[in-house]
């Protein structure tokens, strides 16, 4: 059974700790809006179910066998919500994104099928940029010579809003088969495919989309600029935000140990999540901080282990 509107995010075991902050930000700014987490793997997200009433969507339990095969192991996991998610209309956020303010009034899915979220600074991308970030233009035009690739509002697929079944499932599976045949065709896992599906379906009269400026990709800005635009204390979540947006920590991830990374707003909601578990008193706050340091230490340890294995394997 589906409901009218909800928010979807996705995670695998390695970034489960990130999606906790995503969910905490949703609850803080958007109240009791339903949340679904697409789970890539068989680990439990009971903590999120208990705290936020999250609905899990396990990729291993998808009804379509091709989706069960295609979606795991990359950011394609998010695409499962388009055909098998619980919401008729949904906002999707990557696990390294947070809600910053009440943005639900910023878009409306009653008159459109898909909401592209991109800033005006992107402008009209030249061919070499489209080929770098989305799809190989020359190869795609050999396959679909009628596709009008120029002057499209290409976007980072870490945040968007959509109607359920806005894309034809068989068309998506056809594109995946093409990606198998031409490995360099679509870029960044799902990003190239999603952009192509939006604009090609629109040109065919099968989909309506609109563009809104509510996704900020941190890789597009300097740390100092971001700190000026999004001031906050990691110990106090903001109550009133002048310009509601989605902060997508793409590029340098919002880890504490990355000094050059802009991370404070994300850290705020990581702490808020654990304070909900451990208490908002002094003891709970201290435990929450230690929990974050433990997660960061595990990240660094795993990174060191991977580097060591690569060195050994190269001998």
Q: Determine the angle formed by the axes of helices 16-30 and 264-278, rounding to 10 degrees.
A: 90
Strand order across the 114-117 sheet: 55-58, 35-40, 3-12, 87-93, 159-163, 114-117, 209-212
Span 239-253, average pLDDT: 90
User: Which three-class secondary structure state does DSSP give residue 39?
Assistant: strand
Helices (H), the chain: 16-30, 46-52, 65-70, 80-84, 127-133, 137-143, 169-181, 190-203, 223-229, 264-278, 282-314
Q: Tell me which of 306 and 41 has the higher pLDDT.
A: 41
Instruction: Tell me the HSE value of 78 on the side-chain side, using a 13 A CA sphere.
Output: 23
Over residues 223-243, the pLDDT tens digits come to 999 999 999 988 888 888 888
- How much is the pLDDT for 148? 97
Over residues 86-117, the pLDDT tens digits come to 999 999 999 999 999 999 888 788 889 999 99
Enter the pTM of the model. Answer: 0.93
Bridge partner residues of 5 (DSSP): 89
Residue 76 backbone phi and psi in degrees, to 5: -65, -15
- How much is the pLDDT for 29? 95
């Amino acid at each position: 059974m589906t409901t009218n509107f909800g928010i979807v995010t996705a995670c695998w075991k390695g970034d489960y700790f990130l999606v906790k902050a995503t969910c905490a930000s949703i609850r803080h700014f958007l109240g009791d809006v339903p949340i679904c987490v697409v789970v890539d793997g068989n680990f439990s997200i009971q903590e999120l179910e208990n705290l936020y009433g999250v609905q899990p969507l396990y990729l291993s339990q998808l009804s379509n066998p091709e989706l069960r095969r295609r979606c795991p192991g990359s950011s394609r996991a998010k695409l499962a919500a388009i055909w098998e998610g619980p919401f008729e209309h949904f906002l999707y956020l990557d696990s390294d994104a947070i809600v910053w303010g009440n943005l639900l009034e910023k878009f409306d899915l009653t008159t459109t099928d898909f909401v592209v979220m991109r800033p005006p600074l992107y402008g009209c991308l030249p061919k070499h940029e489209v080929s770098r970030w989305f799809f190989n233009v020359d190869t795609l035009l050999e396959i679909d010579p009628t596709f009008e690739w120029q002057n499209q509002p290409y976007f980072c697929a870490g945040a968007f809003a959509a109607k359920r079944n806005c894309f034809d499932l068989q068309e998506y599976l056809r594109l995946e088969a093409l990606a198998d045949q031409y490995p360099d065709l679509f870029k960044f896992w799902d990003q190239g495919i999603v952009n192509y599906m939006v604009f090609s379906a629109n040109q065919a009269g099968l989909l309506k989309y609109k563009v809104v400026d509510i996704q900020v990709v941190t890789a597009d800005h300097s740390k100092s600029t971001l700190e000026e635009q999004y001031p906050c204390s990691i110990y106090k979540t903001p109550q009133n935000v002048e310009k509601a947006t989605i902060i997508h920590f793409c590029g340098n991830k919002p880890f504490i140990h990355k000094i050059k990374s802009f991370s404070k707003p994300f850290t705020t909601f990581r702490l808020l999540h654990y304070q909900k578990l451990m208490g908002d008193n002094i003891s709970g706050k201290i435990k929450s901080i230690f929990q974050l340091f433990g997660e960061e230490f595990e990240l660094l340890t795993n990174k060191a282990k991977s580097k060591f294995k690569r060195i050994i394997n190269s001998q």
